[in-house]
Amino acid sequence: MPKTALVAGGAGFVGSHLCEELLNRGYRVVAVDNFITGAAKNVAHLVGNENFTLLEIDAETAEQIDETFDLVMHFASPASPPRYLAHPIETLHAGSTVTEALLNVARRDGARFILASTSEVYGDPHVHPQVEEYWGNVSSTGPRSVYDEAKRYAEAITFAYRRYYETNTGVVRLFNTYGPRMDPDDGRAIPAFAKAALANVPIPLHGDGSQTRSLCYVDDQVAGILLLAASDEPGPINIGNPHEQSLLEIAELVIELAGSTSTIELHPRPVDDPERRQPDITKAQTLLGWNPRVDVHEGLARTIAWFTDN
């Protein structure tokens, strides 16, 4: 019998790519999503696969699913600032009650559990590049805290289940994932830049553009996540591309690749927006044998082509 995976947030951006790759690897996949930010169109091409099931439920009720799982993957959370600010309570629940419910499924079935954490646990970092041992510089009361602290709590309860119940858990910290199936209206930099560039209207850039990000193409992210899933490593492990760029450089590259006439329009910078993002991926390299393969020019070209077609 093929192994069975539960992917919470399976109709989301990263979750849908995970479902697709797990099916390619011979898994039966049960995806759950309440469609707060996920979209059925992201997995529409998978629905005809006899090994794929999509359930429109809240992942908090996952213990009621009549299946036994070998792998439980928690990718159920709003991830862009406009979306988690619009759904603050649901975002906090995604890190707390949903994480606990999915951990209970993994504990019940003896499954491997993978938590999608984030570079946002580092906050506006005082350590650069960010290593997993860094505890972070995060506001617990600011507007972004509903996401940042939800992920920090999710990590804490995941490690508590590992220590207390000996649940087989792994935590991955994702850095600035981008690629096809991103929501063009979710407010993150790449879809916002691409949408504006393709319409030849001014690109909205928050701040002066000097703040940096390290972009990791979704195929590389999925490969790293599944290497962690196939291991017994507890993490946390950074999965991201260490190629650091300013947001201004990224915006200019999007304009170039899109063949756009757009200009760049500066807007006020959001509260608690991190100044720099760059993962130290030594652990991913040494423990998982993982390195990103898709450079930013190729990845952005693929992403812009997808936005053009969709």
Provide the angle, in degrees to the nearest 10, between the axes of the packed helices 218-229 and 13-24.
60
Question: What does DSSP say about strands 244-246 and 212-214: parallel, antiparallel, or unpaired?
Answer: antiparallel
Check if the beta carbon of residue 165 is closer than 8 Å to that of residue 107: yes
Is 161 a residue of the active site? Answer: no
301 CB neighbour count, 10 Å cutoff: 15
CA dihedral 81, 116, 150, 146 (to 10 degrees): 0
Measured between alpha carbons, how far is 236 from 66 in angstroms, rounded to an integer? 30
Residue among 27, 147, 178, 217 flagged as catalytic: 147
Residue 93 sits at φ, ψ, to 5 deg, of -65, -35
Number of CB atoms found within 10 A of residue 297's CB:
11
Among the listed residues 282, 265, 155, the one whose alpha carbon sits nearest the alpha carbon of residue 200:
265
Q: 100: burial class by Cβ within 10 Å (0-12, 13-18, 19+)?
A: middle
Burial 235-248 (b: 16+ CB within 10 A, else e): bbbbbbbbebbbbb
Residues 189/250, Cβ–Cβ less than 8 Å: yes
Give the other-Cβ count within 10 Å of 55's Cβ.
17
How far apart are alpha carbons 87 and 76 in whole angstroms? 13
Alpha helical stretches, state H, the chain: 13-24, 81-86, 88-95, 97-109, 145-165, 189-199, 218-229, 247-258, 282-283, 296-309
Active-site residue list: 147
